Structure 1
Amino acid sequence: MIERLLAAPPIVLAPGGGAFMDPETRALIRKRAISVWLRCPLPLLLRRVQGRTHRPLLNAGDPAEILQRLSEERSPLYAQADIIVDGSEDTPHVTMTHVRDALASYRPPKRVTVALSASQYDVVIGDRLIGCAGAILAPLLAHPRVVIVTDRNVAELHLPELQASLSESGITSSSVIVAPGEQSKSVSGWQTVVEAILAQNIDRQTTVIALGGGVIGDLAGFAAATTLRGLPFVQIPTTLLAQVDSSVGGKTGINAPQGKNLIGAFHQPIAVLADTGVLKTLPGREIRAGYAEIVKAGLIADEPFYTWCEQEVEHILSGAEAPLVEAIERAIRFKAGVVGRDERETQPNDGRALLNLGHTFAHALEAETGYGGALLHGEAVAVGLVLATHLSAALGLCPQEDTSRVAAHLAKAGLPTSIAKLPAENLINHMSRDKKMRGGKIHFVLTRGIGKAFTMPDVPEQAVLDTLLANGAI
């Protein structure tokens, strides 16, 4: 009956309270309708039903006890509704106004599906997703129990809201809080997280949630991949860079003394929640760093998107909702397509390796500056994109003017575009230890023009050195 009604023209449907308890009905409503829960405190509900005899459920005993039991059973599932409106002593007309206003302001989150060979998952993009994370995740969890891995800074800002949302949907949570920064993304940091997770007496149906930026996503993801030979995993990235890049695709890992991300595993999440609202808590420098990864998507294979970014850069970085959400969605959609075609980066040429555009240079710069606050990852990527374009032009692969175009775009975004007097020989040595080495040779991602990236082995070392020296290295 409900399926037939929802297939008809738009209506207001008020099913019985038990209808939403059925998993198939909830899934159908989620797919075809906007659900609203009129949430009322128990004392108010009790006053409303006193003296009424037409409710069979309440005639079987003490109404207060029955309502309490029903609330405990049903509230976690009712909390999966798209909109929650709190009831009060107000008249039905006032409540109707609250519902109408909530519907008018409701913006369903966008979804990008990452389709893999053996599975798929959604990246959900929208405002205030942390506050409704429980409703989004509850249908996906094998068991309503999670361990949240986060850092001290993010925990203070977002952990209470996430735990409250999970609890409202009947999901039990505990947390593991680490120090912020790259120092936690180490063998000892990984060991600390794994031991803390195991101390919770978890089982293989317990889900690990990464709440934080790229460091937390990589660290928590690798802990999930290696604990009990693999735990379900959810990404809730809280930086722009993590939302558009590291949270999507299943690469997890930690750093080694020899270099960045040299210890790791492919471990795909079951969901990614990109809450655009949390970006308002970030300093401008972090937003700019994330923007470099958005630009990278256009440079690799989408010239119209790159041109759109050039035109919209100021609006995106100012936090204007529409262009920011569009930039995030387009960057994620691009990466999802690449990952779907080459999940484990096994294609001998191009494929997922294209996502490393600028990263061979970037990782060398990060290694030389000590992976600290002096140079953020996105800032290193920005410099790397300029260097990769310069090297491509020097080899006669792309127009010379592409280098100045890319540099001008990134400079307009407030990003660095040259090397800050670092030793070229040291940078070359770092590149020789990069995980993108194949057969003892560095494979660079270069371009034949904006939106035309490709992988290239056997790049002459002298050409790389010349590029470094021409762009600020010493």
Structure 2
Amino acid sequence: MSPLPPSLSADPAVSLPVPTCTVVLVGMMGAGKTTVGRRLAQVCRLPFVDADAEIERAAGCTIPEIFSRHGEAYFRAGERRVIERLIKGPPCILATGGGAWMDAQTRRLVRKHAVSIWLRAPVHVLLRRVQGRGGRPLLAQGSPEEVMTRLVGVRYPVYAEADIIIDCGDETVEQGVQRVRETLAEYQHPQKVPVALTQHSYDVLVGPDLISRAGAWVAPYLRQKRVVVITDDTVAALHLPRLLLSFQETGIQADVISVAGGEESKSLQCYGDVMTRLLSLGIERGTTIVALGGGVVGDLAGFVAATALRGIPFIQIPTTLLAQVDSSVGGKTGINSPSGKNLIGAFHQPIIVLADNSALATLPRRQRIAGYAEIVKSGLIADPDLFAWCETNGRSVLDGDPAALAEAVRRACTFKAAVVAADEREQAKLNGRALLNLGHTFGHALEAELGYDGRLLHGEGVSIGLHLAMALSVQLGYAPVEDLSRLDAHLRSLGMPVSFDWFDIPFSAQILLDHMTRDKKMQDGKISFVLLHGIGKAFTSRDVPMDTVRNLLINEGCKP
């Protein structure tokens, strides 16, 4: 059995866990919310509450009478108040009326305090179950089949925002209850990492199968139910069908723009082509860009979102470990120029990030290594406990263990969120967000020298850059040599690149220095280096002698 989500705990008297928070059943009339809910409550030894019965008790009259006397709007407001009181109380199994979930405020309350389950059934099953029953004021407004079909068309895309969807048909009550319990046992609510900024905040959701339910997670954040997905051809083949299906079931209109994979797509030419295609779709300022892919797609799509119509909403769905722990969090977007990497860009924060750990299962080990370097970097900067965690769990992360990957992403995102919140636009003069560039000055120079042709992934360049930054810190007398040995031992034990012995081609120290001088972090003609006083003790410096850097590069294997 899958690990229990935080909302569940084991009941020794039965073979499946029981809820420790309220379970809210949503769906159309006839879906079985009351029948299944009563039996589920008995099995789980929890109270069963019928929201409609509670409403009638509070109002002192029947629901048809409330509709007749006061109208639907009055009824929905009272319904929301009753549901809020119930879900904030002791755990129970709560069956709601068919229209309750259509209220946006009710949905927000349930998401915050409970677990929601949509019991989905086809129209013919619903009609058969409600046939001959009274007290259905909505079905009295015309042909029951026509009314039910119309309601299903309106409500099902909203019901699809529930945490869990269970299809119902002709199974027995016991079979339905068993399916609900099994699904609850397997359900893992995403872990939430908040990114709290001065003028804008958003969440990074970390968990399995988020792409399959992306429509449900993003729908509450959309200004209009229209998105444009920007992805690359490789990622589209792997993940796009599931994403589009999730949008379809939640009533979100989606267009797709796909680009070639690789760093070449972060070019002015590709940016112009994507922008032309985007504008030809007749987008509005409420249209949202969804980036589905790795760091290249995220950077490109984010910059497109930042500049189209002077800025439109943006969602990140990173599919690589590198993108999940680094580029998808923090709002840096941009493209490359012939003069250097990411020299054209903007700060444009997403409205939500979905870090789907299941997507990482498709990655080759090399891609996981590239992302893992950024996790190690976070520990080196200011989190020695994270670095120690990496020493213990790094092999499991690179082997693709789902639990280790999820925890690594959560820890790295939590660290980066704190750094970004303190210095969103990298304006701190000392030791702010610029610390996240640890290893990048060296790594970007290597990438530029190789022409971003794929021989060196960004994360591999960072891995080498981490070694070089620590080695430079040791050479300058800032860091103890023991920490350099500890870092190198960890990287080499996992088969990660550490220095120029990774390559079978020579590098020129002078040419690499020239690349560094074109870095966007130059100020007053001086290169900014992120150095270390040791593991977890990073700082920035603009007073590093270039001769010292040159000598380091030569000692590491570069030619002059």
Q: What is the TM-score with the length of structure 1 in the denominator?
A: 0.99
- The superposition leaves residues 78-102 of structure 1 with CA deviations (integer Å, 9 ceiling, x where unpaired) of 0010000010211111011100001
Structure 1 residue 215: Cα displacement: 0.3
Aligned to 1:272: 353
Pairs within 5 Å for 1:241-320: 241-320=322-401
Find the residue that maps to 2:94 and give its secondary structure.
Answer: coil
Shift in Å, 1:60 = 2.3
Equivalent residue, structure 2, for 1:207: 288
Whether 2:529 is the aligned partner of 1:444: answer: yes
CA drift of 1:47 comes to 2.1
> Which residue of the partner structure matches residue 554 of structure 2?
469
- The alpha-carbon deviation at position 107 of structure 1 amounts to 0.9
Q: Is the 8 A contact 1:243 1:274 kept in 2?
A: yes
Structure 1 position 359 matched with structure 2 position 435: no
Letter in 1 for 2:510: E
Deviation at 1:214, TM superposition (A): 0.3
1:195 to 262, 266, 276: 276
Is 2:472 aligned against 1:391?
Answer: yes
The residue type paired with residue 201 of structure 1 is G
Say yes or no: does 1:101 pair with 2:182: yes
Equivalent in 235, 238, 253 of residue 172 of structure 1: 253
Partner Cα distance (1:282, 1:472) in 2: 31
Equivalent position to 1:430, from 503, 515, 520 = 515
Aligned to 1:63: 144
* 2:419 maps to 1:338: yes
SS in structure 1 opposite 2:218? Answer: helix
For the 8 Å contact 2:231–2:292, the answer to whether it is kept is yes
Deviation at 1:466, TM superposition (A): 1.5
Which residue in the other structure is 2:238 paired with? 157
Which 4+ runs in 1 deviate beyond 6 A?
none
2-structure distance, mates of 1:129, 1:412: 32
SS of 1:131's equivalent? coil
Distance 2:538 2:217 in 1: 36
Report the alpha carbon displacement of residue 327 of structure 1 after superposing the two structures with TM: 1.0
Listed one character per residue, the Cα deviations across residues 133-165 of structure 1 (whole Å, up to 9, x for unaligned) are 111111101111000000001111111111110
Deviation at 1:321, TM superposition (A): 2.2
SS at match of 2:213: helix
Task: Give the aligned residue type for 2:545.
Answer: P
Shift of residue 50, structure 1, vs aligned partner = 2.6
Mapped to 1, the partners of 2:148 and 2:102 lie a distance apart of: 15
Q: Is residue 130 of structure 1 aligned with residue 211 of structure 2? A: yes
Question: Which runs of 5 or more structure 2 residues have no equivalent in the other structure?
Answer: 1-81
Structural mapping, 1:43-62, within 5 Å = 43-62=124-143
Q: 1:53, 1:59 within 8 Å by CA — same for their partners in 2?
A: no
Shift of 1:467: 1.5
The answer to whether the 8 A contact 1:111-1:122 is kept is: yes
Counterpart-to-counterpart distance in 2, 1:278 and 1:64: 41
2:102 maps to what in 1? 21
Instruction: Please state how far the C-alpha of 1:413 moved relative to its aligned partner.
Output: 2.1
What whole-Å deviation, never above 9, does each CA across 1:60-86 have from its counterpart, x for those lacking one?
221111111101111111001000001
The match for 2:200 among 109, 116, 119 is 119
Could you tell me which amino acid in structure 2 is paired with residue 29 of structure 1?
V
Q: Percent identity?
A: 57
Distance 2:555 2:208 in 1: 43
Does structure 1 conserve the Cα–Cα contact (< 8 Å) formed by 2:358 and 2:402? Answer: no
SS at match of 1:36: strand
Q: CA RMSD in A?
A: 0.9
Displacement, 1:372?
1.8
Following the alignment from structure 2 to structure 1, what is the Cα–Cα distance between the partners of residues 117 and 234? 34
Which of the two has higher C-alpha Rg?
2
Within a 5 Å distance, the mapping from 1:408-423 to structure 2 comes to: 408-419=489-500, 420=503, 421-423=506-508
User: What does the per-residue CA deviation read over 1:107-153, in whole Å, with 9 as the maximum and x for residues that have no partner?
Assistant: 11001111111110000110000011111111101111000000001
Q: Letter of the 2:367 partner, please give it.
A: E
8 Å contact 2:473–2:533 — kept in the other structure?
Answer: yes
Q: Distance in 2 between matches of 1:422 and 1:254?
A: 25
